[in-house]
Amino acid sequence: MAGLVMLGASPARALDLIELHALAVRNDPAFQAALKDRDAGVAQKDIGRAGLLPSINYRYSTGQNRSRVTQSTFLGDITEHRNYRSYSSSVELQQPLLDYEAISAYRQGEALALFSNETYRGKSQELVVRVFEAYTQALYAKDQLLLAQAQKRSFSERMQLNQRLLDLGEGTRTDILETSARYNLAQAQEIEAQDNEDAANRELSALSGLPLNALTLAPLHGPFTIKPLLPDEYEAWQALALRHNATLQSLAHSIDAAAANVEKSRAGHLPKVGLYARAGKDSSNSESSYNQTYSTNSVGLQVSIPLYAGGRVSAQTGQAVDSMEKLRYERDARRDALLNDLRKQYNLYKSSVAKIRAYELAVASANQLIVATRKSVAGGERVNVDVLNAEQQLYDALRNLAQARYGYLGAWVKLKYYAGTLDPADLEQVASYFGR
């Protein structure tokens, strides 16, 4: 009876957590979106740096011109009709020398690139959590279905025994009704378990991109080992989370980006100095240069000093400051929520250890109770309902034990996730609990 949660034949080639994670990395749409978002964000650094580097532009224009030129002479007015082609060609290099707006834009691009990297790191860790949850939820749904089916078979066999005893004059109609009621309840639990299994399998398939179900997964194998939590103190986990949590780190970089945006807005009050070099060639570019070609090379400094922009710069700066302060408050709120979640998972891990040990003892005791109760019924000391209660106690203990084991592993994974230290090696450690 103790192995009811492991009922059902294991497939010849089961899928483990590592393999499911590899499938999710390739096929999960949410993770693929996070990957593209990271790539787009990293480009912000190059975009910001471009404002500090030289820019080279080539310009060329050509046209066909018709004009009538009248000149006054001592002989009278002379009119000339001209039909000619003109063109202008130039190459110009510009290099910023003093541009605080461009410097701030570069710093903002750096911060946004770091923000994207941290966000991607968080999504990568979140994927590990989602893979584990989809994997264990599918297994737990299968366990509950097998448990409900085993419970229903047990009650069916009990009803047959009750009927035989009634036929022999040793049983009662009440025994049959009691067992039938338990059988009907088990039927309802089986239907609910089937629905839960279908939903879990669909989630598994959506994550992996393949038509998977719990039967294709490697199940928990025993004995179930409780490992020490390192570090053991909550304060150490809190310190890890404040230093390494990807969400908090990304928010810190977003605040840096917002601060750079404030400085970029303030740069609207500051002058800009740049170097330029130009080489150009013009032919018949105007009436005064008709039938003349000029080649001009020039190098110089260009200074731009803003005087008044209608208050736009001040308004943009104030808006940028408000946006930065908003991000600070959001970071503080997210930090408080994170530490609350971290504490919940820490407490869950600690309590799950005690629960597992208690439910393991409860399963062993329930098995012994069933044997003893059946003997007592045969000796006339107990009645049918006592056997039903003993069996129900076993099924409840098995259900609670499975839930506690998955909860223990899930709490450890989420504890590492909230601390910001979850990596593939941790997934391998969790995968060792599941055998092929």
Q: What is the pLDDT of residue 80?
A: 78
Preceding omega of 223 cis (within 30 degrees of 0): yes
Q: How far apart are CA 399 and CA 151, in angstroms?
A: 11
Q: What is the pLDDT of residue 59?
A: 94
How many angstroms separate the Cα of 198 from the Cα of each of 29, 149, 185, 403? Answer: 21, 16, 20, 18
Taking the chain (436 residues) in consecutive chunks of 10 residues, what is each chunk's mean pLDDT? Answer: 38 79 94 95 93 94 82 75 86 94 95 96 96 94 89 82 78 82 88 93 92 89 86 96 96 96 93 94 75 86 91 93 96 97 96 92 88 75 69 86 94 96 90 83
CB contact at 8 A, 42 and 116: yes
- Here the tokens at position 177 are 């009704």
- Here the tokens at position 378 are 């045969």
Q: What is the pLDDT of residue 336?
A: 97
Q: State the pTM of this model.
A: 0.84
Provide the pairing of β-strand 76-98 with 55-73.
antiparallel
Q: What is the pLDDT of residue 13?
A: 65
Q: What is the pLDDT of residue 6?
A: 39
- Where along the chain do its domains lie? 4-52+99-270+312-431, 58-97+273-305
Q: Which CATH number fits domain 4-52+99-270+312-431: 2.60.260.20, 1.20.990.10, 1.20.1600.10, 2.40.10.10?
A: 1.20.1600.10
Q: Which of 82, 51, 85, 56 is nearest to 69 (CA)?
A: 82
CB contact at 8 A, 251 and 334: yes
Q: What is the pLDDT of residue 381?
A: 58
